[in-house]
Structure 1
Amino acid sequence: MADYLDTWLHEKARSLKPTTLAIYTDYVTKDLVPALGAIRLEKLNHLHVACFIDDQLAAGRGPTTVRRLVATLSSALGDAIRKRRLHDNAARHAPLPHPPKRIMPCWTSTDAATFLRHCDATDDPLANLFEVLIGTGLRKGEALALHWCDVHLDDAVLFVRYTLSNVRNSTPVMTSPKMKSSHAWVGLSDRVIAAFERQRRAQAAHNATTELVFSQADGAPLRPEVVLRRFHHLCAAAGVPRIRVHDLRHLAATLMISSQVPLAMASKTLRHSTISTTVDIYGHLVPYAAQQAVDAIATAITAAELVQRSC
């Protein structure tokens, strides 16, 4: 298993993003090989995987981490099956723990207004970034990798081409977005257009020469951890609940859906792969949709009855 996993990682390096490869490498070298490396590939069975899961949980690893470890192992074994080295994937139907469903914290529109008003009043250098994140639902990495050539203010749209990530939380790299559906146009409101215009003026005032919309003074990308620290500082100063920067995306989704924006349009704006993804994540916010559905049934039947009566 140790030899096979090492070869598998080497081959996967050709197709994986640097961040994903770093995660796979850590899982393989720090967890899978120490636990399963001495077992022959063709001898690995479901009991080995079940014992590995039990040992990881007993060592205090969280359910989500354990599921990711087993998913990595399953991916490696799946490749062995495709190469006809195995007949069965011992990790495919492993007894995995179910992580607790995370309740996403979310600001209200009042919280958002309070926060943005504080950023504006203090002339914070990241104020425009947070306005764009809230006003578009972009992921943090997508906003930090945004290039001016992809922002079209006259047409009120931007195009997502890149995302900024940290490899092992240290080295920032620019890669393609999370999914194919993430490569897409995003509309811009007047508020967001104004934020971009302020950002352009701010860069011009500091003689900043960079292709990036949001950058350090020397034109280098903003580091995600620096943005997070600044965001938490501003949350405390503004007196609003402390959340993650990524939760601003949830805020954007919540405001859209709670304002009865059609789910299809909200899903398109968030660039989810399918509308079912939007429903799975935010379905609890749309009781109005369920009411509209049954009202539509009643309306159709009532209309048919009126036609019959008139005849």
Structure 2
Amino acid sequence: MAISPRVAAALRHRARSSARTQTDLGAPFRGLVFCRPDGRPLRPRAVLDRLRELSDEAGVPRVTVHDLRHLAATLTITAGVPLTVVSKTLRHSTLSTTANIYSHLTRQAAREAVDTIEHTLTRAEQKAERQSRQTRLRSPRDHIQRLREAVNRLRSPTRPGFCATANRPQPRAATTLRPPALQVREKPSSRKRENGLRPASKLVGTTGFEPATP
């Protein structure tokens, strides 16, 4: 069972004083933290009477031990402790028992959960609105700079992937080689054409054309 450091310190202090009492009186019961002066177990009636006396001294309405148990469960549920943990701490047989007894607290926790979600969304909307307002109220210098950039783009438009020197004719590399000489092919002159003309004896190159008449 989990206990707080405050409860652990109180139990250690009580155990030391109880051990001294049991040793002095030779009590037959050993290891009891809360007991009578002679070491015997406490009577339930004595516990209730002492609790009422403390309530009167504190000026609060009289409470019972079960009221303290209910107070502890209320504080833990209100603090946001999961209902399953509270149910195990109270030693309830089922979770529904805890939910039925403390249903009013679970409704309150559900309301608080909804309010938390609403608060979170409201803060997010307010933050987005502030950022949008800051963008609209940007300094005039920023707007002037953006206008200058737009004007510069209009003055010198450049198509994507276009290079100004890509379409220019590239100069050919100089060379010392002479072009090949024209080859003149001899043609037999014994043959005549059908029109009675004698074909030329020489042809220009490999084209088959006759040379021009001077």
User: Where on the TM-score scale, by shorter chain, does this alignment land: which range?
Assistant: 0.3 to 0.5
TM-score, normalising length: structure 1? 0.33
The structure with more helix, counted as a fraction of residues: 1
Q: TM-score, normalised by structure 2?
A: 0.47
